[in-house]
Structure 1
Amino acid sequence: METKPTEISSSKMHGGFNKRFRHFSPTLGCFMTFHIYFPPSTESSQKFPVLYWLSGLTCTDENFITKSGAQRAASTEGIALIAPDTSPIMLSKSCTLTAPLICIPGGLNVEGEADSWDFGVGAGFYLNATQEKWKNWRMYDYVVKELPELLKENFPQLDTTRASISGHSMGGHGALTIYLKNLDKYKTVSAFAPIVNPINCPWGQKAFSNYLGGNKAHWEEYDATCLVSKFHDLSASILIDQGTDDNFLHNQLLPNKFQEACEKVNAPLLLRLQRGYDHSYFFIATFIDDHISHHAQALKL
């Protein structure tokens, strides 16, 4: 099976290009899509640092690219944006290079994968499932191992050794946990309205019990609040923006739990409560420039 990425769309923006690619993922056992925003280049030998963006529940690789407005700041700072999908998918047989616009994403025909919006398709939670039924749900390995290697091998204009990671909601959970488990791979991390303590919220409990089984010790390996308590050498500040009018703030996101855990180990956290903002991409678009700047400072050192 051909794993080399194939370009299926391209649009110019702020002097650079949004490009979408399709490839077969051996890690997930299916075809996947991802977006790259390439900032404008002033010379052929220029290599751009990368910022991975992990999206939230129900999203695909398209939401951030079309709604966040991050490309303006990324263009100015010279940072490439990498936006993978949120779960394993299956593309329709009609999805071909000659007709890319009729690609129809779906599931892998696993029973129960599309029964609810907060689990299964569009809800990979950026972990490696241990339960046989969900064996294809290995988004952690896809984001941390396969995708960076794919980028390194196929896009010489990207410098994957200079990388940061960010995300929203479920993707904020993914960004924080991946960063805390791989401090050698990422310069910085930031998040919008992240699920920071999934072992204690309904979304996390539903996903973890199905993907990881009943051993809650395994759940803690994908919980940012649990993970940060194990580290004492975080050099870069963690940036989190959280809207005060977010409907999920008090029962799903629990930023106070993460803040308390950071304070106990003196982990550098900048938690900004943004008055009146909700959980939407309007919120993200308002503050995305601050996050791009946060990452640019570290990526350019």
Structure 2
Amino acid sequence: MAVNLYLPHQYFTQDSKKIPVLVYLSGLTCTPNNASEKAFFQPYANQYGFAVLFPDTSPRGAGVKGEDDSWDFGTGAAFYLDATEDPWSHNYRMYSYILDDLIPQIGSSFTKLDTSNMSITGHSMGGYGALMFYLRNPTTFRSCSAFAPIANPSNCPWGEKCLGSYLGADRSKWAQYDPSDLVKTFTGDRKPILIHQGTSDGFYKEHQLQPENLVKAAEDSPLKGLIDLHLVEGYDHSYYFIASFVKDHCEFHAKYLGLSG
């Protein structure tokens, strides 16, 4: 598995101050290179002074039968969960990998990073991942945002395929990873979650994403009124869309990371 880490100039020029971290989770089929090359987080990371961590989207070359049969399942599509069903449960454990392996290793390898001061964002499957990680770990991440997230995976074809195969038929297990279920029992601070969604996004039109379901679910939760959903006319699902609004998301996270007013 690959990982990319962008270090802002403050990492090298500030001797004593530790650098916060923004975790970016990528979407289906992506590697850490997609966002590193096309999302343009770097100028804003330098402006505010945070690092950006780009994990991979799945194990690579695990040799699990069927992992390369389709683009929306298996390699590049691990859905950021810990699989419980064979043959996936041994390798496909992205939830534990990111929280228990990757972040601690990055913190120990780059000692000027402050992994106690992190925020999280992502796109599509990664937007779902960002929402899920934040709602399950409100003391680990200071803030959360998402670009075109799969906001209710239990209720869309992508999610039904992946959750059913990785977790089995018991939908109560699916709810443990579904943002539209997790938001109902959220126990963290009342902070907004920023979401941008393009109205010309084909996957949005096909009801794969359904951010409105998260807004509706939050009405009966501590985050009522705090899902800040922006439906932006004419934008699709591409990295052009992400690059168009990455400034807004970086400004949002800088506030909660203590880097701006």
Q: Which amino acid aligns with 2:234?
A: G
TM-score by length of 2: 0.94
- Residue 255 of structure 1 pairs with residue 211 of structure 2: yes
Q: Which amino acid aligns with 1:258?
A: L
Give identity over the alignment, percent: 49
Kept in 1: contact 2:190–2:222 (CA 8 A): no
Kept in 1: contact 2:25–2:121 (CA 8 A): yes
- Residue 128 of structure 1 pairs with residue 82 of structure 2: yes
Alpha-carbon offset, residue 265 of structure 1: 2.1
Identify the structure with bigger relative contact order (alpha carbons < 8 Å, sequence gap 6+): 2
Q: Which amino acid aligns with 1:264?
A: D
Moved over 6 A (4+): none
Kept in 1: contact 2:130–2:146 (CA 8 A): yes
**Residue in 1 aligned with 2:186?**
231
**Alpha-carbon separation, structure 1, partners of 2:227 and 2:187:** 13
**Alpha-carbon separation, structure 1, partners of 2:101 and 2:240:** 31
**Alpha-carbon separation, structure 2, partners of 1:199 and 1:43:** 45
Which of 213, 223, 229 lines up with 1:271 in the alignment?
229
Which of 20, 40, 46 lines up with 1:49 in the alignment?
20
**Residue in 2 aligned with 1:291?**
249
Alpha-carbon offset, residue 264 of structure 1: 2.5
**Residue in 1 aligned with 2:65?**
111
Relative to structure 1, the CA distance from residue 266 to residue 181 in structure 2 (aligned partners, 3 Å threshold; closer, same or farther) is: closer
Which of 156, 176, 182 lines up with 1:221 in the alignment?
176
Structure 1: gaps (5+ residues): 1-31, 90-106
Structure 2: gaps (5+ residues): none
**Alpha-carbon separation, structure 2, partners of 1:187 and 1:43:** 22
Kept in 2: contact 1:232–1:265 (CA 8 A): no
TM-score by length of 1: 0.82
Specify the structure having the higher radius of gyration (Cα).
Answer: 1
Is the partner of 2:146 in helix, strand or coil? strand
User: Deviation string for 1:156-210 (max 9, x for gaps)?
Assistant: 1201110000000000000000100000100000000000100010000000111
**Residue in 1 aligned with 2:164?**
209
- Residue 140 of structure 1 pairs with residue 111 of structure 2: no
Alpha-carbon offset, residue 67 of structure 1: 0.3
**Alpha-carbon separation, structure 1, partners of 2:180 and 2:142:** 20
Q: Which amino acid aligns with 2:158?
A: W
Q: Which amino acid aligns with 1:262?
A: A
Alpha-carbon offset, residue 143 of structure 1: 1.3
Q: Which amino acid aligns with 1:116?
A: S
In terms of fraction of residues, the more strand-rich structure is 1
Give runs of aligned pairs for residues 146-225 of structure 1, distance below 5 A: 146-225=101-180
**Residue in 2 aligned with 1:74?**
45
> How many residues are aligned here?
253
Alpha-carbon offset, residue 132 of structure 1: 2.4
Kept in 2: contact 1:130–1:213 (CA 8 A): yes
Deviates more, 1:140-149 or 1:281-290: 140-149
Kindly report the root-mean-square deviation, in angstroms, between the aligned alpha carbons of the 2 structures: 1.1
Q: Which amino acid aligns with 2:7?
A: F
